Amino acid sequence: MDQPPRSPESPIPPDRTRTEATPTPVRQGFELPPRDQVRGAEDPPRAFQAGGEEWVVSESGRAVSGRGTDPRVLLVLLFFAAGTDPDRPIREILIPERGLEELTDQELIVLLGRARPYRTDQDRKEVFPGTRKKGGKGP
């Protein structure tokens, strides 16, 4: 059977105010997890041997992916440089959930094999070139 259409707002009982009659949002019933403290790349560079050569790996930065009540993942950017020139990165890789201090030398060798060539900011391509706001303040 057809029911009569309901009004967008249910009537408020005379003994309650509008604020009292408004239901509490579900998100207010949960405590949000504490924000992760993201620390900078403070660990010293670490040397290891791979393929008969000496390599130096260092953390370039850390970030956390996720927001609100979503699960958060720690992301760590690693730079690999030749042992003869440790200040000039050659390869880079972004890894989840583990810092440099937690990786073994064998894991570093595997990550070095997976790492992509390091690019300076001038060599990087814009990922989504058509998403910039138009009409904003320019340089």
113 falls within a domain = yes
Q: Measure the CA–CA gap between 15 and 17, rounded to whole angstroms.
A: 7
pLDDT in tens, 22-75: 766 666 665 655 555 545 555 688 999 998 999 999 988 888 787 767 777 888
Residue 128 in any domain: the answer is no
Cα–Cα distance for residue pair 36/69, rounded to 1 Å: 12
- Percent of the chain exceeding pLDDT 90 equals 26
Q: What is the pLDDT, as a whole number, of residue 101?
A: 83
Instruction: Summarize the confidence of residues 100-126 as an average pLDDT.
Output: 84
Range of the domain at 74: 46-120
Residue 58 resides in a domain: yes
DSSP-based three-state secondary structure for 114: helix
| Assigned domain for 5 exists | no
Q: State mean pLDDT over 119-126.
A: 67
For residues 78 and 62, give the distance between their C-alpha atoms in angstroms, rounded to a whole number: 9
Q: Is 66 part of a structural domain of the chain? A: yes
41 CB burial (10 A radius; 0-12, 13-18, 19+): middle
Residue 67 lies in a domain: yes
Residue 81 lies in a domain: yes
Q: Backbone phi, then psi, for 18, in 5-degree steps?
A: -60, -40
At 102, the pLDDT band (50, 70, 90 cuts) reads confident
Q: Which residue has the higher pLDDT, 1 or 24?
A: 24
* Total structural domains within the chain: 1
